[in-house]
Chain A
Amino acid sequence: MTVALAVPDVLVARAQAGDEAALEALFRAFETPVYNLARRMLRNAEDAEDVLQETFLEVVKSIRHYRGEGYLWGWIRRIAATKALMRIRRDHVRATEPLGEEPGKTGMHVGANIDLERAFEQLTDTSRAVVWLHDVEGYTHEEIGELMGKSVSFSKSQLARAHARLRRELGGSEGAHA
């Protein structure tokens, strides 16, 4: 999705001074992109809502220190992605599922006509996060590796495996490309 990134400097200045109306304006401007990012990365809608809330609590707390380096959406998005990845890590620890393993949905046959959204949902949390951050949000493998506390090659291999799986589930022919 494309996010309308332009936020007037004056609005940021007011938010930095603690003006509640300005903070709400920022929340309204970015709540959907933040929620969408979190929801695409996370399997659970409630988790995504929590990430939305945690992200803006952090924004409220830290916006005074935002000095305008880069654009505001980039700053907020990084906070949101970090919160979502923390949640993925926490859930992996709880489920003792190793990072990168295929999701525990064995036996679920995905037909050739399944749409992309459903196929995307079938990816592991980690793969989904990598695909979304790289392909949609435009993060580099270096940035994803840094966010995840993993290597660049980890990010690259997750992306390759995810696309191979998407290709299979969307009905591509099984061959040397998988």
Chain B
Amino acid sequence: MTMHCTMDDLLALQAGEASVWARRHVEDCAACRAELDGLYQRVAQLKALPALRPPRDRWSIVRDAARVERVHRRRTWGAWGLAAAAAVAGVLLVPWFGQNGALHAELSQAKQQSATLEDQLGRYDVHGRVLSGRTAARVAELEDRIAVIDGDLARKGGAKAQARDADLIELWQQRVDLMRQLVNVRVTRARYVGL
């Protein structure tokens, strides 16, 4: 009885992983060569099947979810900033309110500026505008840098008072500077979607 290639053998031949026996057999056996050709044709026909298109547009659902995701991210980010601010304020205001008035005023001013910019950004309609690729990358970079500063502020809140103050002012000033850049990028370099 003549042995022929099984489907496993044919698939292995197609993948270039067949046994020596299968490779030799398919050279000599016309029936198995025809089967192998049939396999190649089926795969080619599968690849050539027409693309099936979605019957309904699901973009609006995805878009709404994207908006929720965006708001969630901003809230998380804002919560970090608020937590950092609360930690810093709690530590600074209690022990030596009158001892270093100038330092305190400088710190308060930086925090106030940051809050104002945060508020300005919060009122800005993110979804009604488009960004160029470069601008979008710049926005992402600025947001990441602000998030890093917020993390630093939260950590510095627990440090010793003397070592803490100068660092805190510097961090808050850096935050204000980055927030200004972010507002500038968001408000002046983005443009409304002209659809």
Q: Is the interface of A mostly helix, strand, loop or mixed?
A: helix
Q: Are A32 and B3 in contact (CB under 8 A)?
A: no
A135: nearest residue on chain B (CB-CB)? B43
Task: Say how far A84's CB is from chain B's closest CB, in angstroms.
Answer: 13
Tell me, in angstroms, the Cα distance from A176 to B29 when the chains sit together: 13
Query: Could you tell me if B56 and A49 are in contact, using CB atoms closer than 8 angstroms?
Result: yes
Q: Tell me if B66 is interfacial: C-beta within 8 Å of chain A.
A: yes
- Verify A27–B62 contact, CB threshold 8 A: yes
- In the complex, whether B50 has a CB less than 8 A from a CB of chain A is yes
For chain A, residues 6 to 27, give those with C-beta under 8 angstroms from any C-beta of chain B.
8-11, 13-14, 16-24, 27
Interface of B is mostly: helix
Q: Mark B54-70, 1 if CB is under 8 A from A, else 0.
A: 11101101110111011
Contacts of A28 in B (CB 8 A): 59
Q: Does B46 contact A (CB under 8 A)?
A: yes
B66 to A18, Cβ gap below 8 A? Answer: yes
Contact of B11 among A53, A57, A163 (CB under 8 A): A163
- How many residues belonging to B are interface residues under a CB distance threshold of 8 Å? 50
- One of B84-92, B115-123, B124-132, B161-169 contacting the partner: B124-132
Is A116 touching B45 in the complex (CB atoms < 8 A)?
yes
Q: Looking at chain A, what size class is its interface with the partner chain? A: 35 or more
A39 / chain B contacts, CB cutoff of 8 Å: 52
Do the beta carbons of A36 and B52 come within 8 Å of each other?
Answer: yes
Residue pairs across A and B with Cβ atoms less than 8 A apart, 10 shown, are A10-B133, A10-B134, A17-B137, A18-B70, A27-B59, A40-B52, A53-B58, A53-B61, A57-B62, A177-B7
Extra contacts, 12 of them, besides A13-B137, A14-B137 (Cβ < 8 A), are A9-B133, A13-B136, A13-B140, A20-B66, A22-B136, A28-B59, A32-B53, A35-B53, A116-B42, A156-B11, A160-B6, A177-B4
A residues sitting closer than 8 Å to B (CB atoms) are: 1, 8-11, 13-14, 16-24, 27-28, 31-33, 35-36, 39-40, 45, 48-49, 52-53, 56-57, 60-61, 116-117, 120, 131-132, 135-136, 156-157, 159-161, 163-164, 166-167, 170, 172, 175-178
